[in-house]
Amino acid sequence: MLDHEKLGYQLTVVAEITVLKGKLLEMEEAIGKLSNTCAVYDVTGLTDALVIAKFHTREELSKFTKNLLSMPFVDRTNTHVVLTTVKEDLRLL
């Protein structure tokens, strides 16, 4: 298990992404290639995808968010900054 905070990643975000019709897979593939991205999920509900990402600084987060918004198939984002991580463990057992 990696301890991201010990590696200097002070910020974790959950970003909701709304995608222009028919471009969801292209968007997910592009975002999945970004270095700060930890996970990309298709979801049901008001948004089309959720992205989990980690950053050293607010400046990195700002660049990442502006990069998302500049993608031609991203309609809008809604980014949540995690205040406290209660549990983060992707192991199932």
**Phi, psi at 65, each rounded to 5°:** -65, -45
| Cβ atoms of 20 and 77 closer than 8 Å | no
The distance between the two most distant Cα atoms of the chain, rounded to a whole number of Å, is: 40
Weakest mean pLDDT among 4-13, 25-34, 51-60, 76-85 = 4-13
> Quick one: fold of 11-81?
Alpha-Beta Plaits (3.30.70)
Q: Which residues contact 7 (CB under 8 A, 6 or more apart)?
A: none
pLDDT average, residue stretch 40-62 = 96
Is the confidence at residue 8, as pLDDT, over 90? no
Each residue's pLDDT tens digit, 53-84: 999 999 999 999 999 999 988 999 999 999 99
Domain chopping of the chain, boundaries: 11-81
